[in-house]
């Protein structure tokens, strides 16, 4: 039952912020399958972020439409196109409250090399000017 406590906390935080309409995205890699791979991380987070704001949805849709081969890009390039650039294009008033991104069981991602890249992606997102994004990550070291 290793990790049960961390995952329960992550799920509780995701539910609480979802109920408050402040959950930007959640990514639970526990259990394997597509979510155990960082390959779909950027797209998964982008789709969920798009649901938080009509303006952000437009920017993400434009980014996806302008790059038909986005699935062939590396993780950081996908993140930059689908998440960072759309967030940076937002008006200051588009997201009037903080959004939380919850990532659970980071250590269970298939490729350990991608874990540090994923952390780099998340760090870049919290530094986007005038967007108040908070990140909650669980992992076992």
**Which ranges constitute the DSSP H helices of the chain?**
4-19, 41-50, 54-66, 75-79, 85-88, 112-126
Count of beta carbons in the 10 Å neighbourhood of residue 105:
21
Write down the pLDDT at residue 106. Answer: 86
Quick one: how far is CA 70 from the chain centroid?
A: 16
> How confident is the model at residue 16, as a pLDDT?
97
What are φ and ψ of residue 97, in 5° steps? -130, 160
pLDDT of residue 40: 87
pLDDT per residue, tens digit, the chain (141 aa), is 454 688 899 999 999 999 999 999 999 865 555 555 678 899 999 999 999 999 999 999 999 999 878 888 999 999 999 999 999 999 988 888 999 999 998 888 777 778 889 999 999 999 999 899 999 999 886
Which pLDDT score, from 0 to 100, does residue 52 have? 95
Query: Are the C-beta atoms of 28 and 35 separated by less than 8 Å?
Result: yes
Query: What end-to-end distance do the CA atoms of the chain give, in Å?
Result: 16
Q: What is the pLDDT of residue 1?
A: 45
Contact call for residues 108 and 20 (beta carbons, < 8 A): no
**Which pLDDT score is estimated for 14?**
96
Q: Can you read off the two tokens belonging to residue 106?
A: 């980071």
Strands (E) in 61-129, as ranges, are 99-104
CA dihedral sign of residues 121, 122, 127, 131: positive
């Amino acid at each position: 039952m290793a990790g049960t406590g961390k995952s329960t906390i992550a799920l509780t935080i995701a539910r609480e912020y979802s109920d408050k309409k402040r959950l930007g995205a959640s990514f639970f890699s526990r259990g394997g399958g597509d979510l155990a791979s960082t390959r779909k991380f950027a797209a998964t987070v982008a789709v969920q972020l798009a649901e938080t704001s009509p303006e952000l949805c437009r920017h993400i849709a434009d980014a996806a439409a302008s790059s038909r081969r986005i699935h062939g890009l590396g993780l950081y390039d996908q993140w930059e196109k689908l998440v960072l650039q759309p967030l940076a294009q937002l008006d200051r008033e588009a997201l009037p409250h903080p959004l939380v991104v919850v990532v659970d069981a980071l250590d269970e991602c298939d490729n350990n090399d991608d874990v540090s890249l994923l952390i780099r992606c998340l760090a870049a997102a919290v530094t986007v000017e005038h967007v108040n994004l908070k990140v909650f990550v669980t992992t076992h070291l």
